[in-house]
C-alpha cells in the first residue's frame, strides 16, 4: 500500500461548480480503481492524498499532474504504508484545506 500527498495551485478561472463535478467523477473512478484519499480546496490551492497500490497511485499522479486545471504540483510526502486511512472514501472532499490534517494523515503508518 502506498500513500502520496501533494499540493498544487488551481487555475485562476476554475469555478467551484467545475471542481465539484471533477471531484464527483474522480471519487467514482477512484472507487473502481481501488484508490482512496482526501482532497481539500480553498479556492486557490489543492491538497490531496492518494492511497492504493503503488503503481495505481503513481500512475494516477501522472494523469493528475498533466491536468491543466492546476499547476505548480509539489509532492510533499510519499511512502509505503500498512493500511489505508481513507478506507471507504473514493475521494473524501474536505471543506477546507487544513494542512495539519494532511500532515498527520501522512504520519500514520
Ligand atoms: C486537483 C485535481 C485532483 C484530481 N484528482 C483525481 C482523482 O483523485 N482521481 C481521478 O480519477 N481523477 C482526478 N483528477 C482528474 C484527472 O486529472 C483526469 O482529468 C481524470 O482522471 C480523467 O478521467 P477520464 O479519463 O475518465 O476523463 C484530478 C484533477 C485535479 C485537477
Q: Is 47 in the pocket of ligand 1 (CB under 6 A)?
A: no
Q: Is 18 in the pocket of ligand 1 (CB under 6 A)?
A: no
pLDDT value, residue 104: 84
Low-confidence stretches of the chain (pLDDT < 50) are none
pLDDT value, residue 30: 96
Q: Is 29 in the pocket of ligand 1 (CB under 6 A)?
A: yes
Domain range 2-107, CATH class? alpha beta
Residues 6+ positions from 32 with CB-CB distance below 8 Å? none
pLDDT value, residue 101: 80
30 CA from centroid of ligand 1 (Å): 9
CA angle 91, 58, 21 (to 5 degrees): 30
pTM value is 0.93
Amino acid at each position: 500500500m502506498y500513500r502520496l500527498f501533494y499540493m498544487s495551485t488551481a487555475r485562476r478561472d476554475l469555478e467551484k461548480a467545475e471542481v465539484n463535478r471533477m471531484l464527483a467523477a474522480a471519487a467514482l473512478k477512484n472507487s473502481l480503481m481501488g484508490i482512496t484519499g482526501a482532497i481539500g480546496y480553498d479556492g486557490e490551492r489543492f491538497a490531496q492524498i492518494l492511497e492504493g497500490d503503488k503503481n495505481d497511485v503513481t500512475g494516477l499522479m501522472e494523469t493528475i499532474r498533466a491536468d491543466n486545471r492546476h499547476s505548480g504540483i509539489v509532492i510533499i510526502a510519499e511512502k509505503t504504508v500498512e493500511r489505508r486511512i481513507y478506507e471507504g472514501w473514493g475521494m473524501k472532499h474536505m471543506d477546507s484545506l487544513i494542512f495539519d490534517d494532511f500532515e498527520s494523515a501522512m504520519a500514520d503508518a
